[in-house]
Structure 1
Amino acid sequence: MDVTQMYISEFVGTAVLIAFGNTTNASILLKKTIVSIFGTNWLHIIFGWAFAVAFGVYVGITLGGPGHLNPAVTFALAVAGIFPWDQVIPMSIAQIAGGFTGAAIAALFYYPHFKVTGPDEGNCVGIFATGPAIDNKPFNLMSEIIATFMFMLAILCLGKMADGLAPMVIGILVASIGMSFGATTGYALNPARDFGPRLAYFLLPIPNKGTANWQYAWVPFIGPLIGAGLAVLFFQLVAP
């Protein structure tokens, strides 16, 4: 596999994932969107992100990469000896840069709605990044570790599937995680999904924006890495 093409595929695939995901959140949280007129619920967000992951993976694989789109997955596969360690950091940088770019697309697309929405009305970092329902860092970290552990373990157990089916199944898995383990911290599962968009919200000239909540940012970065790494070690221990 061409390394440069792999990095490009991870960048573009992650950008697609985040563009779909962040615009899903923006359509709900910002004022004067058509969605805000009709109302919505948690399932809208869950399936919006599930499809975002599926189509991001489709793009990444089609462009010649492995379709990780997630530093936690890349790190875990390196722990398993499946992915080379010397490519983990550059791959993760490509994924985080893709996350930043996808968030920038969402910010541009909904720019007029950001202009009419204040920080106390929905113009918040939650459009781009995750946050806890109850701010308790040890339990927030535990939530991200467990959710990502279950996510990675399920991925490792998917087995062989027909070409083109795996990304959709992974999307269904993301929806399942959202409905089960997602309600405490927003189920980041992915450092690039959280850090890149959070950085974009902080740096880009988005009107009326609130705080980027950097004091929480380490939780959705470290938690998925730990959870995915533990899942690989557990799988290697118990798999026949």
Structure 2
Amino acid sequence: MSGFLGELIGTALLIVLGGGVCAGVSLKKSFAKDSGWIVITLGWGLAVAISVYAVGSISGAHLNPAVTLALAFKGSFPWSQVPEYIAAQMIGAMIGATIVYLHYLPHWKETEDPGTKLGVFATGPAIPNTFANLLSELIGTFILVFGILAIGSNKFADGLNPFIVGFLIVSIGLSLGGTTGYAINPARDLGPRIAHFLLPITGKGGSNWKYAWIPVVGPALGGSLAGLFYQIIFEGKHNSAIIYLGIVTVGILIVSYLTSKKSQSHTNNRKVVA
């Protein structure tokens, strides 16, 4: 099996199990309805672990463009394979989201709230704030990639690494996930969001494209910075790419901060007028 197919199948499995737990907890007349955040974080952690077990020996189980970019910046993965891996991850995520839709087919009609339906497929902010939301995704993905690289540097019993990575996902969800739903994976968010847009979901509403760039750009930056940081600090290898990527990151954060301030100012002005 090729690396492309491995990433496609692995990411599809990730979304079936991860998106599936979101659907089970959120959609009406599901036996798992209102099980809560701990169930969601545990479900996502197990989803990652099982998916890594499934295709780790085939593709390395990146399952996440942020991980692929991080390894490429770090020099552990060839840049020539980055496009095909990201394409496979995106396609796999869309397939996985479609399977979740089919599995819960009768429940979409029973669930009235469009936002709840979108939440099965894609993330969204608890408090909309462009700067804070972007920073949350950046930090969460930095911790994800740093944690994966740290876990990889330790010796465990054969086959235990994916299980430990699953616990890392649970930890990030419990500690950092409450702000934006911790996408920490551009394919995990964008692929299912596209599926949500395309699928004939009863009463689905919009796909919130205004927010969609944040769980793509934030994880891409956070993961890439983590890969470079680990290489420089823990492996003692110089990589000037961190300077350029750092400048780009700071620039994007400044623009997002100014955008947030402008948006808040407009909101306050409308309140005064009202």
Return the match for 2:19 from 15, 22, 46: 22
Distance across 2 between alignment mates of 1:123 and 1:184: 16
Q: Which runs of 4+ in 1 moved over 6 A?
A: none
Report SS of the residue matched to 1:175. Answer: helix
Partner of 1:199: 194
Partner of 1:75: 69
8 Å CA contact 1:16–1:56 kept in 2: the answer is: yes
Answer yes or no: is 1:152 the counterpart of 2:149.
no
Distance across 1 between alignment mates of 2:9 and 2:70: 21
Distance across 2 between alignment mates of 1:175 and 1:51: 8
Change (3 A) 1:123 1:41: closer
Distance across 2 between alignment mates of 1:211 and 1:119: 12
8 Å CA contact 2:94–2:191 kept in 1: the answer is: yes
Partner of 1:211: 206
AA in 2 matched with 1:14? T
8 Å CA contact 2:190–2:216 kept in 1: the answer is: yes
8 Å CA contact 2:50–2:162 kept in 1: the answer is: yes
Distance across 2 between alignment mates of 1:237 and 1:67: 24
Displacement after TM superposition at 1:161 (Å)? 2.9
Displacement after TM superposition at 1:119 (Å)? 2.6
Return the match for 2:45 from 43, 46, 50: 50
Return the match for 1:105 from 99, 110, 118: 99
Displacement after TM superposition at 1:202 (Å)? 0.6
8 Å CA contact 1:24–1:48 kept in 2: the answer is: yes
Report SS of the residue matched to 2:38. Answer: helix
Distance across 2 between alignment mates of 1:161 and 1:68: 19
Report SS of the residue matched to 2:2. Answer: helix
Return the match for 2:216 from 217, 221, 224: 221
**After the TM superposition, which residues 79-158 of structure 1 pair with which residues of structure 2 at under 5 Å, given as runs?**
79-120=73-114, 123-158=116-151
| Percent of residue pairs identical | 49
Partner of 2:10: 13
* Structure possessing the higher radius of gyration over alpha carbons: 2
Q: Which runs of 5+ in 2 are unaligned?
A: 236-274
Report SS of the residue matched to 2:49. Answer: helix
Partner of 1:169: 164
8 Å CA contact 2:108–2:117 kept in 1: the answer is: no
Distance across 1 between alignment mates of 2:117 and 2:205: 5
Per-residue CA distance 1:75-129 (angstroms, 9 max, x = gap):
1100011101011011101001000000000000001001221235x64211111
Partner of 1:40: 35
AA in 1 matched with 2:72? A
8 Å CA contact 1:124–1:211 kept in 2: the answer is: no
Q: Which runs of 5+ in 1 are unaligned?
A: none
8 Å CA contact 2:44–2:170 kept in 1: the answer is: yes
Cα RMSD between the aligned structures? 1.3
Displacement after TM superposition at 1:206 (Å)? 1.4
Distance across 2 between alignment mates of 1:35 and 1:71: 30
8 Å CA contact 2:93–2:192 kept in 1: the answer is: yes
AA in 1 matched with 2:49? A
So what's the TM-score if we normalise by structure 1? 0.94
8 Å CA contact 1:123–1:210 kept in 2: the answer is: no
